Structures are given as C-alpha cells and as structure tokens.
C-alpha cells in the first residue's frame, strides 16, 4: 500500500508512481516504434516471397498510416472525454490482434488490410499518451516527460533492427507473433501502472493545472470544455499539422526505404543492414532525450528558431548523404547518425511545442490533429518514394532529394506559428 500523509501520497511515493507511469508508457511506445521500423525489414522477404515490386510493397507500408491517420482525431477526442487509460489499453490490445493476423496472412490485399487495421490501433496511442502526461504531471515537467517517452523511437528502432532483424531473417511470420506478444505485455503494464482519472481526481487535476498556470480565477474551473470545432479553428494547430506532415514525409520516407537502400547500395545481408540501422537508432534515442532538455532550457521561448534551423541542417545532410555517402558505408553511417540527431530535434520540437502554447483541456485533441498531419505524411511517403525508385530504375537519388525538399517546406511552415495564441479558436 502507498505511504500517505493525511490521506495524500508522500513525495517519494508520488515519484515512484510517476516513474512507473513513464516506464509503462515508454514500454508501449517502444513496441509501437518497433512495429513501425520492423515492417521496413519484413517487407523485403515478403516482397520476394510473394513477387511484389517496390510500388506494391510501398502500398502495404502506406495503408498502415492511412488507418493511423483516420483514428488519430477520434481517439484524441475520446481520450479527452473518457480518459487516457481506456484508449491506451484498447489501442494496444487491438494492434496485438492484428499483429498476430498479419503474420498468418498471404497476398497483397490481405497484407494491406491487416496493416491498415494495425494503423487504426496505432492511431489511439500518441494522443492518449499525451493526454496521460497532461493528467499525471505538472506543466513544467510535461515537455521533458514527453520527449523522454518520444525517445522510445530509438529504443523501438534498436529492438526492430536487432531482435526484429534476427527474427525476420529467420522467419518473418515468427517476428510478427513475437511482436503481438510484446503488445500484450505492454497492455498489462499500462493496466496496472497507469492510473485512471475521473470525478474528484479530475477536479483536483484541474485545480492543480490552474495553479501552475497562475490562474487565480476560481470561476474558470467550471468553464465548459472547448469543443473540437474550437480545436480545428486554432491557427497553431493547423500550422503544426502541416509542419508535422512535411517532416514525417522525410522521417517515414527514410524509415520505410533506408533498409532497402543500405542493403542494395552496399550489398549487405538483411541482418548486417539491420545492425547498421540499429546503431543509428542509438543516436535517434539520444537525440530525443537531449532534445527535451535543450527545448526546456536553452531554447525555451526560442522553439521556432530551433525547429527551423534543425530542419534546414537536416535537408543539407540528406543531400550530402545521397551524393557523398554512397562512396563508403562508414561515411553513410556517420551522415545517417547526424541526420537522425538533427531531424529528431526538429520532430521533438514540433511534437512538444503544444504543451507550451495550448490549453491542457484540449491537448489530447490538439495533438491528435497535429499528429494526423504526421500520419498523412507517413501514408504518402512509402508509396511516393517506392514509385519514384521504381520509375528511376532502382535509383534512390530523386526520392532522397524529394524528402530533403519536404524538410525545407517544414521549416518555412513553422514561421507561421504564433506562440502567443494560447487559447482555442484564435
């Protein structure tokens, strides 16, 4: 039983509880990111076994993001209304079922349907995680906690390119059976360690949020919740939606096709190509962790400058990677690591910025809308790049120049964010 003082948890107990919430959410996100990365390895033996070209395998990867995009906004709205925990558990359990089914299927249409359904489940996780952070952590800690949880993109990548790589090399169907089991483990962790909020607990959270924001007007505690219409009328939500779309075309374009590019360019086995990308995932993880600290301290109030600068540097690195990196695997690995460090700083900046410029009452719905832009980018990237590679006879040059251009567009869009607009509908 938790230790209490006058009916309230002690500071040590609260810290332990907060740590377990973070660990549980990170575990779920690690499997989510493992799933997103592992398909880029599994698609190679799947394509070979079923005679699929890059345009067709691109469709399998893209339809995952279509399902993802469709469910982001409804699940964000649901998390705001019924609480994060129910959406978290339901989303992960749903994905687990279709992960098992994907590993049992055969044929282009069935693969597309299964990945689409897995995407539907994925759509509920990011907004409900963000809502859970808003429910369980004070305002000043939310950016750091969010960036810490986002660092699981690197952990998930490491899992995908080590454990996943070995399993895919042995039997891609086995890899998805193991993935489904890991989703179920995540469901158990969240069920036991992430609290539910409602009733008196919800009122207490509102009071704490108001105190942290310096709001002393008690009447605002009873103010009606902003509607979803208010959310989509918010200028910053729409601008960040577009920015996230562009940056995710770049990120998921890389994620989807980098294993194929590394394997074919340097004539590596699937396992060796996976190990190269696992090494790179370490930098992705470190970049996301340190991004939170930098954005909370060094770049506090200067998020726009940080995001624009990192986007432009990323675009330059992509161009250098495609023209210079192919001369040496070592040079490619160094450039890829730099790309990961800088691009994840930009992504983290965009994803965590809403915590600073938007109301906690609409954060779930806001993140859902913004991240829907990202998932649309994820839907477009695999198919567009796959067809560009197919049209170029297997060359990746045009495809990589395209994602560099998308990164520059992201930088330009961020110019239109107005941080001073903190309420819905302005």
Map out the domains of the chain with their CATH numbers: 16-206+227-414 (1.20.1250.20)
Cα–Cα distance between 122 and 370 in angstroms, integer?
15
Q: How many CB atoms lie within 10 A of CB 40?
A: 26
Cα separation, 42 vs 177, in Å, equals: 13
- Judged by DSSP in three states, 356 sits in helix
- What confidence score (pLDDT) does residue 28 get? 92
- Phi and psi of 83, rounded to 5°? 100, 155
**Crossing angle for the helix pair 139-150 and 11-50, nearest 10 degrees?**
30
Query: What is the per-residue pLDDT for 223?
Result: 46
- To the nearest 10°, report the CA torsion of 155, 30, 59, 277: 10
- Global pTM reads 0.72
pLDDT tens column, 260-284? 899 889 988 888 888 888 888 888 7
**pLDDT digits 0-9 by tens, 312-345:** 999 999 999 999 988 889 999 999 999 988 988 8
Strands 4-5 and 8-9: antiparallel
Query: Under a CB-based contact definition with an 8 Å cutoff, are residues 58 and 387 in contact?
Result: yes
- Please report the pLDDT score of residue 188 as a whole number: 95
* Nearest of 13, 150, 24, 12 to residue 84 by alpha carbon: 24
Cα within 13 Å of Cα(31), Cβ side: 30
What pLDDT does residue 146 have?
Answer: 73
How far apart, in Å, are the Cα atoms of 288 and each of 154, 176, 278, 349, 369?
A: 8, 27, 16, 9, 22
Low-confidence ranges of the chain (pLDDT < 50): 1-13, 198-205, 209, 215-224, 423-426
Neighbouring CB atoms inside 10 A of 157's CB total 28
């Amino acid at each position: 039983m938790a230790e209490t003082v006058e009916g309230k948890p002690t500071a040590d107990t609260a810290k332990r509880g907060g740590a377990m919430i973070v660990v549980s959410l990170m575990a779920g996100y690690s499997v989510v990111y493992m799933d997103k990365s592992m398909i880029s390895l599994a698609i190679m033996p799947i394509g070979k076994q079923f005679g699929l070209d890059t345009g067709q395998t691109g469709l399998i990867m893209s339809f995952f993001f279509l399902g993802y995009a469709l469910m982001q906004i409804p699940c964000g709205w649901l998390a705001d209304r019924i609480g994060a925990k129910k959406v978290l558990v339901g989303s992960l359990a749903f994905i687990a079922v279709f992960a098992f089914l994907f590993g049992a299927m055969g044929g282009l249409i069935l693969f597309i349907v299964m990945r689409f359904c897995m995407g539907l489940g994925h759509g509920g996780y990011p907004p409900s995680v963000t809502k859970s952070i808003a429910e369980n952590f004070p305002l000043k800690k939310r950016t750091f906690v969010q960036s810490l949880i986002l660092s699981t993109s690197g952990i998930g990548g490491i899992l995908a390119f080590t454990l996943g790589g070995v399993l895919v090399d042995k039997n891609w169907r086995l890899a998805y059976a193991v993935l489904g089991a890991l989703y179920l483990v995540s469901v158990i962790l969240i069920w036991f360690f992430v609290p539910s909020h409602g009733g008196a607990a919800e009122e207490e959270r509102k009071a704490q949020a108001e105190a942290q924001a310096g709001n002393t007007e008690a009447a605002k505690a009873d103010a009606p919740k902003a509607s979803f219409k208010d959310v989509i009328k918010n200028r910053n939500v729409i601008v960040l939606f577009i920015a996230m779309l562009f940056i995710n075309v770049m990120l998921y374009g890389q994620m989807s096709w980098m294993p194929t590019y590394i394997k074919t360019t340097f004539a590596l086995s699937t396992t060796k190509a996976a190990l190269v990308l696992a090494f790179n995932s370490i930098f992705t993880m470190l970049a996301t962790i340190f991004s939170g600290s930098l954005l909370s301290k060094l770049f506090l109030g200067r998020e726009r400058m940080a995001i624009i600068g990192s986007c432009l540097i990323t675009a330059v690195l992509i161009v250098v990677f495609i023209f210079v990196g192919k001369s040496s695997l070592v040079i490619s690995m160094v450039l890829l690591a730099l790309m990961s460090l800088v691009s994840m700083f930009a992504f983290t900046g965009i994803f965590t910025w809403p915590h600073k410029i938007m109301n906690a009452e609409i954060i779930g719905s806001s993140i859902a809308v913004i991240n829907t832009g990202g998932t649309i980018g994820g839907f477009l990237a695999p198919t567009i790049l796959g067809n560009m590679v197919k049209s170029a006879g297997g060359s990746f040059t045009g495809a990589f120049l395209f994602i560099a251009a998308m990164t520059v567009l992201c930088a330009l869009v961020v110019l239109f964010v107005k941080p001073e607009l903190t309420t819905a509908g302005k």
